[in-house]
Structure 1
Amino acid sequence: MNTTRELGNEDEGLSVSMVVYRPDVKQLAQTLSSLARAYAVLRQARPTIKLDVWMVDNGGLPEMSAAFADFEFRGARCSIITGHGNVGYGCGHNLAIAHAVSRYHLVLNPDIDLDPDALTRAVEFFESHPDVGLLTPRIGDETGHIQYLCRRYPTLFDLFVRGFLPARARSLFSRRLVRYEMCDVINERDVVFDPPIVSGCFMFFRTKVLKRLTGFDPRYFLYFEDYDLSLRTHAVARIAYVPTIRVLHHGGGAARKGSAHIRMFVASAFRFFNRFGWKWL
């Protein structure tokens, strides 16, 4: 059953959309727990801010009442959008975005753990930078190191090296990857304005910016929808990498997920380059 419930006051609201397909239940519960803790810290600073969590079920979502209990205890509202089948990542988020009237909207992967102060720092940054419409955080891996998920505009060769070569072979092209992954400017300390492309695993938007862009392009089933949305965002607002906002990402690359994901990656790359321009080497 699809829910069409709308969110609360635009001046105070924060909405979060998560799209899941046959999720890792333990990891999903961990992500929700970290989101609930971050919301608790945010409420300490802004007691009137309301949270709405939209879980978009593209298939295989288990019973969620226990995982939602912590949110409901804190006054948040949780809804599940289901019954639409596996419509893809971006289109799934759009189902929730269509109903959002919050001031801020977080596009969140189900394999992200938020630091307790992540939401608070994001809201504070938006309040002090009114020209910024999209934030991306310092994204760490399970060993504590930065995942360099900001990107310059890719070439086909960059994508092949980054996504499909083994680590030893990738080392031969380290200078290319440093440039593509913005390792020369992304660090633990400095805010970086206007990175060309940011990761879809955690995109913290002003909702009015996201609405103006009409969300994700639904023609991407999986992969490159965040590249597309990032590039379109530059036309209406600034983007900022803010390292004081910290999250942990448990995800992996397309090549490590099997042939079906490789096919989806290639199809989405073709669509992306057709739209924004081909670069080979």
Structure 2
Amino acid sequence: MTWIRRWWDDPWRKPRVLATITAFYLLWSLLPIVIAILFSFNSGRSRSVWQGFSTRWYFGSDQSVLGNDTLHSAIVQTLWLGLLTTLITVPLGAALGIGLDRWRGRIPSGVNGITLISFVVPETLLAVAILFVVTNLALPVSLGTSAQVIGLVTFQLSYPAVLVRSRLATIGTQYEEAAMDLGASPLQAQLRVILPMLAPAIVASAVLVFADVIDDFVLVRYLSGSADTEPISVLIYNSARSSPTPALNALATILLAAAMIAIALGFAVFRWLGRRSGNGADLSVFAGEA
């Protein structure tokens, strides 16, 4: 108890009230997640009464995540949407951010404002609008994976664009101008000078997009065509009231694990890029302090 007394009496530490609020917030946020993960290993069907430890809801039975075709299909669809949307959104968003930063005039100013709309427009409104476009216009796109990807790319495009523009604002134009003074073409200056300096922002945007896509609910629910295109979030919602079992907890745990793995990989790549550029693992690289 000595360290508690020392923490309580030390006037140089953070205010005790704020520390207490922070601890309470962390406990309130993490406790439901821990309980949900714990009951994914329950041996019985109950999601409230502990009946022993088991991995039956992950594998080994026809009701497990890997043994049930519906649950397995939801995992594949979720990861596929996350990967496909990230591969499309990040290059488009990075190119959009570079273009808006280099283009001057009223048109890019207006486009810049439009890119920020997705941060304030309700996702339900965007989902319904894309649903009307896909179902009412003669487009070579149908409800399902293609419509979901279009909606997710539209909604997520702002993240890489804003991050890349923020990075470019701190980099400035001196590096690009110096490269062209040394004989590089504008394209070579972008590829060999600017893009390596934008790598941390690009990695950060990829992690944000992937993590946000795999737990998206509104867009993918409105634009899903059949049960085969329902990701984990929609399946959990549809099954939560009808026939809930700890398999849903296992499914949510896998979703959480996928997001954490994406964040961990992104941070590992970021640290590698930081060491390569001489910035170490300092997170200020994201703020543009090259």
TM-score range, shorter chain: under 0.3
Higher Rg: 2
Tell me the TM-score normalized by structure 2: 0.22
Tell me the TM-score normalized by structure 1: 0.23
- Greater share of residues in strand: 1
- Greater share of residues in helix: 2
